[in-house]
Structure 1
């Protein structure tokens, strides 16, 4: 019995292909990184810059661990606006005067690498004095309204009086007072010269500010040392949070997220 067979088609002859990889080009990556860094530098210099609050001097508005955003454009720009405070020029470009009551970030006059945050109390030409804990501007007191005692946010072992201060234009903010007879509760008259500002912390009995001369305090702050205006608390972590301690990263203070600085 003849068995028919069907021949299978021959496999096509295919020349082996050689995969040629394009040489790795790092110049595009480097260019992207450089452009990104340049944009970040421009933003930090001209628009916004983040800061972390390291002390309690601006309680209760700002507390230790707050991560704040500072805007650069409200007051114009100076050498203090740029990272590392380079000696580019003197004075301010497109200068606009800060307002009394603004929360201002500035470079310490004696230690320009150190950024500080305080409330602007005295403008050029103002006469500033503190009497029994009340702040007087040109002989008139900033109105104070006590609103009850609480535990200090960062030092809960201390009981403090909360006091609302009301500026002449109606702007209000909350301060802390630890009682009468504290250092800085009674001062002489400070006359603020042109080109300078008088700064105070809201935690009045726990702030080294313009009430004290350098190097112990801040003294009067030159206009060109101003970095910008504090706008918002973007986020906040409890004290003790550290980059290299991952178990501390979730120590949020949730009530302080996206909190406007007043």
Structure 2
């Protein structure tokens, strides 16, 4: 009987530890869709770290997992384009942040539609997928500006497929 109690305690401790790790430190997510092509592919498995955003805000270039504002049970993976105070627009296929054209070698193709200038409110981020012509992101009213509270964490590492395993780097210019 004593052994069963000890096993039960060990299982309970393991469950609590797993819950705390997933809630506060990291979790794994699977890419579902093509909005981040070519950087991330459908079916990629990622480790999302949550610790850094306890100490700093997301910054442009970070690849983040966010809760979809229209349905917080759903998660999106996007790239941070702008933060509070930044002015964002798309004109003639080019992304402008604070009137500066951004060099974006990671995007799949040139954007086919314009987006009127907006100013990102404080404590929010403006996100876009790397496959700009096939991405539901901050350009759409159901996503819009993403409050920091809706940012789950930073996609830090691809763990599958094994042939593409490695750290996901941010790109800023």
Regarding TM over 0.5, the answer is: yes
Deviation by residue 1:23-72 (Cα, 9 ceiling, x = unmatched): 57422221111111111111111211100111110111111111100111
In structure 2, the partner of 1:157 is none
| Alignment equivalent of 2:30, drawn from 37, 41, 52 | 52
CA distance in 1, matches of 2:13, 2:167: 32
| TM-fit CA distance, 1:219 | 1.1
Computed over aligned residues only, the root mean square deviation of the Cα atoms, in angstroms, reads: 1.5
| Alignment equivalent of 2:93, drawn from 121, 125, 133 | 133
- Whichever structure has more helix as a proportion of its residues is 2
Higher RCO, 1 or 2 (CA under 8 Å, sep at least 6)? 2
Aligned length in residues = 169
The alignment partner of 1:143 has SS state of coil
Compare CA radii of gyration and give the structure with the larger one. Answer: 1
CA distance in 2, matches of 1:201, 1:141: 17
Superposition pairs for residues 1-262 of structure 1, below 5 Å?
25-76=3-54, 95-144=55-104, 164=105, 174-177=106-109, 182=112, 185-214=113-142, 218-236=143-161, 254-256=162-164, 258-262=165-169
- 8 Å contact kept, 2:58–2:125: no
- Where do 5+ consecutive residues of structure 1 fail to align? 1-22, 77-94, 145-163, 165-173, 237-253
| TM-fit CA distance, 1:143 | 2.1
- Where do 5+ consecutive residues of structure 2 fail to align? none
State the 4+ residue runs in structure 1 displaced beyond 6 angstroms.
Answer: none
